[in-house]
Homo-oligomer: A and B are copies of this chain.
Amino acid sequence: MNRPIGIFDSGVGGLTVFREVVNHLPHEDLIYFGDTARLPYGSKSPEAIIRYSLECATFLLEQNIKLLIVACHTASAHALEILQEKLPIPVIGVIQPGFELLMQSTRSQRIAILGTESTIASGVYQNLIRQHYPMASIFAVPCPLFVPLAEERFFDHAAADLIAAHYLDPLKEANIDAALLACTHYPLLKRSIHKALGPSVKILESAFTCAEQAQAVLCLNHTLNPQEIKPAYRFYATDHPIRFSTLAKTFLGYEIHLTLIELEKNKKV
């Protein structure tokens, strides 16, 4: 009941999910884990992503978590089922919440998914949508430069506008009415994405819906913390890039204390 919730991501982007979980579950202890030594996941192979995800999950299990949230879209796309199969606790990802939000928001069922190369290539969103909405028109666009642009804080820069236009201009003729930001970093570039897509397209993020799902899972399993405690938040990373702290402040609005750990020393699930 008073065990912590674990959240992992390849880096700092999952803090968008962390923030929403804090808002939805203000009395739960949280452990955030960023696999910064091996980021980005988005350009790696499915095999590597699965191996890394299992190692991250093992570390968090050792911290006695009661629920695992896979905040990384790439890891959710490739490793969620394996984690759900292997772990003795509930595991939720960001794909299902993102999918639900997107399909609730579209009227025309002409929709776009923007994500990393790996997320898009996995076809996970496309398959989920086709399964439930066979008539939907899906435009899936990999935008590999968005993560480095966000990490470099090019939030409102002409170069970000040009790169967004480069990736998204082909969508103009697609006549979509909603686009899902299927990567935790992309909300930081929302302004450039908005300019490229035009005012008639709703731009959606899965962090809010993912936190709602976490709340529902704990409630259903009767594992919500019954005490109204002041929660403890712990942050771990596998490497300490110079920019982690700066970026954490951008995502959360306050400084965090980061503990560095070496994953290779931990055994696999």
Contact = CB atoms under 8 A, between A and B. Distances in A.
Contacts of A144: 148, 151-152
Contacts of A147: 148
Given A148-B144, A148-B145, A162-B158, A117 B242 contact: yes
A239 B162 contact: no
Contacts of A163: 154, 159
Interface string A138-169: 00000011011101101001110011001000
Interface residues of A, number: 30
Interface string A74-115: 000000000000000000000000000000000000000000
Interface string A162-188: 110010000000000000000000000
A38 B40 CA distance: 8
Task: State the oligomeric state as a number of copies.
Answer: 2
A144 to B, nearest CB: 6
A159 B166 contact: yes
A239 B148 contact: no
Interface stretch (A15-23, A43-51, A197-205, A215-223): A43-51
A236 to B, nearest CB: 14
A154 to B, nearest CB: 8
8 contacts: A43-B151, A43-B241, A48-B239, A144-B152, A145-B145, A145-B148, A157-B162, A157-B166
Given A37-B48, A154-B163, A159-B162, 6 more contacts: A43-B151, A44-B239, A44-B241, A45-B240, A144-B151, A145-B145
